[in-house]
Amino acid sequence: MLKNYLTLAWKVLQRRKVFTAISLFGTSFTLVVLTVAVAMFDHTLSPMAPEINLDRTLVMSRARMRGDGNTWQSSPGYRLIHDYARKLPGVELMTVQTSGTLATSFVSGRKIESTLKHTDAEFWRVYQFAFLEGSPYGAADLETARLVLVINETSRKRFFDGQSALGRHIDADGQRFQVIGVVKDVPSMRTPSADLYAPLTTQKSKGWEEEYLGDFTPAFLLAANARPEDVRAELHSRLATWKSPQPQWKTLSATLETPFESMGRNLYPGDTDFTRTYGGFLSMILAGAALMFMALPAINLVNLNVSRIMERASEIGVRKAFGASSRTLVVQFVVENLALTVIGGLLGFLLAGFVLRSINQSGLIPYAELTLNMRIFLWGIALAVVFGLLSGVYPAWRMSRVHPVVALKGTR
- Same domain as 211, residue 93: yes
- Same domain as 151, residue 93: yes
- Same domain as 360, residue 240: no
Q: Does residue 272 fall inside a structural domain?
A: no
Least confident of 143-147, 187-191, 226-230, 346-350: 346-350
Q: Pick the closest to residue 151 from 120, 183, 123 (CA basis).
A: 183
Mean pLDDT to the nearest integer, 342-350? 82
CA 290 – CA 391 distance, rounded (Å): 14
Q: Does residue 25 fall inside a structural domain?
A: yes
CA 195 – CA 153 distance, rounded (Å): 8
- Same domain as 292, residue 175: no
pTM: 0.79
Q: Does residue 28 fall inside a structural domain?
A: yes
- Same domain as 32, residue 143: no
Residue 12: pLDDT band (50, 70, 90) is low
Q: Does residue 61 fall inside a structural domain?
A: no
- Same domain as 151, residue 220: yes
Residue 393: pLDDT band (50, 70, 90) is confident
Q: Does residue 270 fall inside a structural domain?
A: no
Q: Pick the closest to residue 344 from 12, 13, 14, 29 (CA basis).
A: 29
| The total number of structural domains that make up the chain | 2
Q: Does residue 260 fall inside a structural domain?
A: no
Residue 273, phi then psi, degrees to nearest 5: -95, 120
- Same domain as 299, residue 193: no
- Same domain as 214, residue 179: yes
Q: Does residue 52 fall inside a structural domain?
A: no
The mean pLDDT of the chain is 85
**What is the side-by-side strand order in the sheet with 219-222?**
57-59, 219-222, 91-95
- Same domain as 196, residue 107: yes
- What pLDDT, on the 0 to 100 scale, is given for residue 15? 66
- Same domain as 75, residue 222: yes
Better pLDDT: 216 or 397: 216
- Same domain as 196, residue 290: no
Residue 332: pLDDT band (50, 70, 90) is confident
- Same domain as 284, residue 234: no
**Strand pairing partners for 292?**
none
**Strand pairing partners for 149?**
179
Task: Quick: pLDDT tens for 81-124.
Answer: 999 999 999 999 999 999 899 999 998 888 999 999 999 999 99
Q: Does residue 261 fall inside a structural domain?
A: no
Residue 156: pLDDT band (50, 70, 90) is very high
User: Domain of 14?
Assistant: 1-47+278-409
Least confident of 184-193, 213-222, 375-384: 375-384
